[in-house]
Amino acid sequence: MRYYSTNNRNLRVSLKEAIIKGIADDKGLFMPEHIATLPASFYTNIENFSLQEMSFEVAKAFFGEDIEHDALKKIVYESLNFPIPLVQLDTNIHILELFHGPTLAFKDIGARFMARVLAYFTKDQNEEIIVLAATSGDTGSAVANGFLGVPGIKVGILYPKNKVSAIQEKQFTTLGKNITAFEVDGTFDDCQRMVKQAFTDDKLRQQVNLTSANSINLARLLPQAFYHFWGYAQLKDKTRNPILCVPSGNFGNITSALIAKRMGLPIQHFIAATNINDVVPQYLKTAVYEPRPSVQTIANAMDVGDPSNFARILDLYNTSHFAITKDISGATYSDKTISATIAEVYHRLGYLLDPHGAVAYTALKRALRGTNDQGYFIGTAHPAKFKESVEEIIGEEIVIPERLQSFLKGEKKNIEISTEYSAFRDILLNH
């Protein structure tokens, strides 16, 4: 299959080129020229698949023309070797727990898949590749751990100073080996801007092989569709097509869900739930997209003022605001509401949400109120990753899982940089 740029549909490349480049030469994002509709038999038998079996069927629709099937199966099975349960909270509300992987965050799936696909395509290359990722928290830990020790690949993680949780920071600053963490004295948007500048710096790219591990890279984005199918597969009642609510920051997660719908996944409606960084919810109301500087909140992974993947959503719907709003609603909540939801759900149901899950739960609950509909939302991270904030909200100490505790024992090592791109560029060239 060929992949085109969102800036120019005539600019088309192979899957290998799309993944290694990360971003198109014209600064657009890559999209598949064709999104296959899965056969009716897939949905008839969906309850009988294991997670890995089902994901392999979806992966073949995406990558089957470009990756040999045995190799693709191995990549899928290795990437998804942990459970992803759908847990019922209220009568008509479920949470899809995507935090049972190595770093306890949903980005483990895409990062582990991408690391293996990139290794597949570069196994015969002699030149080293540098993978860059901007993070507001979980991307950094998932990418760093997914690529740790992969031969021929170095990873640079850019993150905003004092704007990720202590546990998240430890997960990508203590690894060493082929992982380098850059602590940027700015916001996530500054980190993302610097990564994008590197990819559009022609002189730099003539000297350094760069690719991105953010959701702008197709190999990170498309595998996220796997678990949207898996969430639906686990619903006991399939007579009512569900509403899917996705806590949204850079909008890669919900973009993969929209692609899954194009493949036939019977979701009746989507909710893009955000904190007060509500650029996309405002667009859904007004048809005007106005990026602005992000504001720091306790749901830090959604502190994004100019979501990269919004370009892909516009592309999917041919920039039709009417078509987009027919499928997607927006919801936005303050720290006060997020905190109140965490406390209420914990004390009423005995279930502890992380701040991002609390945003999604609130949005879905309000959307379902007074209806006979059902829905599920995406649980993106384990609440222990936000230990200080969550403990203050519920007034109790929470147990840190053993996997997170092991990161806390490591020594933080990073490179402190300003938001000036030139300084970052010099490091890429010289180190």
pLDDT band at 257 (very low <50, low <70, confident <90, very high): very high
Reduce the DSSP state of residue 398 to 3 states and report it: coil
The whole-number pLDDT of residue 402 equals 86
pLDDT at 216 > cutoff 90: no
The CA-based angle 212-215-218, given to 5 degrees, is: 80
Q: pLDDT at residue 222 above 80?
A: yes
pLDDT at 137 exceeding the cut of 80: no
Place of tokens 């959701």: 215
Residue range 182-211: mean pLDDT, rounded? 90
Catalytic-residue membership of 107: yes
Burial class (CB in 10 A: 0-12, 13-18, 19+), 297: buried
Please choose, from the candidates 113, 306, 356, the residue with its C-alpha nearest in 3D space to the C-alpha of residue 213: 113
Q: For residues 223 and 233, is the Cβ–Cβ distance under 8 A? A: no
CB-CB neighbours of 87 under 10 Å: 13
Note the residue count of the chain. Answer: 431
pLDDT tens-digit map of 34-84: 999 999 999 999 999 999 999 999 999 999 999 999 999 999 999 999 999
Q: Give the whole-angstrom CA distance, residue 135 versus residue 150.
A: 20
Instruction: Return the H-helix or E-strand segment holding 376.
Output: strand 375-379
- DSSP class of residue 397? -
Neighbours of 237 (CB within 10 A): 8
Q: What is the pTM of this model?
A: 0.89
Q: What is the tally of helices (H) and strands (E) in the chain?
A: 20, 14
Residue 349 has pLDDT above 80, yes or no: yes
Question: What pLDDT is stored for residue 321 in this prediction?
Answer: 98
DSSP one-letter code for 381? B
Return the H-helix or E-strand segment holding 328.
strand 328-332
Mean pLDDT of 276-296: 95
- SS3 track for 241-263: CCEEEEECCCCHHHHHHHHHHHC
Q: Say which residue the tokens 């170095």 belong to.
A: 154
Any idea where the domains of the chain sit in the sequence? Answer: 69-106+221-400
**Residue corresponding to tokens 């850079």:** 250
What pLDDT score does 122 carry?
A: 85
pLDDT at 420: 95
What per-residue confidence (pLDDT) applies to 258? 98
Mean pLDDT of 25-37: 94
Q: Strand (E) positions, 81-222?
A: 86-90, 93-97, 129-134, 153-160, 179-184, 209-212
Task: With cut-offs at 50, 70 and 90, classify the pLDDT of residue 395.
Answer: very high
Residue 130 in this model has a pLDDT that exceeds 80: yes
Q: SS3 for 97?
A: strand
Residues 309-334 as b/e (b if ≥16 CB within 10 A, e otherwise) read bbbbbbbbbeeeeeebeebbbbbbbe
pLDDT surpasses 80 at 214? no
Closest CA to 143 of 85, 93, 182: 182
Residue 431 has pLDDT above 80, yes or no: no
Whether 290 contacts 282, CB under 8 Å: yes
| Three-state SS at 67 | coil
Indicate if the pLDDT at residue 126 is higher than 80.
Answer: no
Query: Does residue 18 have a pLDDT over 80?
Result: yes
Q: Which of 317, 301, 400 is nearest to 356 (CA)?
A: 301
> Residue 94 CB: number of other CB atoms within 10 A?
22
More confident site: 21 or 326: 326
Q: Residue 131: beta bridge partners? A: 155, 211
Candidate list 21, 74, 107, 413, residue with the active-site label: 107
CATH for the 69-106+221-400 domain, from 3.30.70.270, 3.40.50.720, 3.65.10.10, 3.40.50.1100: 3.40.50.1100
pLDDT at 22 over 90: no
- pLDDT band of 113, cuts 50, 70, 90: very high
